[in-house]
Amino acid sequence: QVQLVESGGGLVQAGGSLRLSCAASGRTFTRYVIGWFRQAPGKEREFVAVISWSGGATYYADSVKGRFTASRDNAKTTVFLQMNSLKPEDTGVYYCASQRRTYYSGNYYPSDFDSWGQGTQVTVSS
């Protein structure tokens, strides 16, 4: 199991940027696929992005494609989510999650992941 801790959330105006971090503990971190999800009040948790264990492959939800970029630094056991051109509808609690199954380029469900961080709040004002 990998333990995950998110950071970097905050309040930003529409059009602004934030960079989220997901710090992991665990010696086999490099073998984990990492996903990003978000949950707005009263809504279900939704898929945002996923990155393969090597960092060589990523996939994004249509709603964030072209604005968000996932990356990872395996030496520092950290995954990042760079969020640009933020919109009010991007507001929510952002979670990173890990799983050891084979990466695929497509949308994921929360049930696809085994371990979760505690989340970090992102609020985008209009």
Q: Which residue has the higher pLDDT, 76 or 62?
A: 62
pLDDT at 51: 96
Q: pLDDT class for 48, splitting at 50, 70, 90?
A: very high
pLDDT at 30: 73
- E strand residue ranges, 45-91: 46-51, 58-60, 68-73, 78-83
Q: Distance between CA atoms of 97 and 68, rounded to whole angstroms?
A: 17
Nearest one of 90, 91, 56, 87 to 70, comparing CA atoms? 56
pLDDT at 2: 86
pLDDT tens for residues 64-74?
A: 999 999 999 87
> What does the pLDDT average to over 103-123?
96
pLDDT at 27: 65
pLDDT at 69: 98
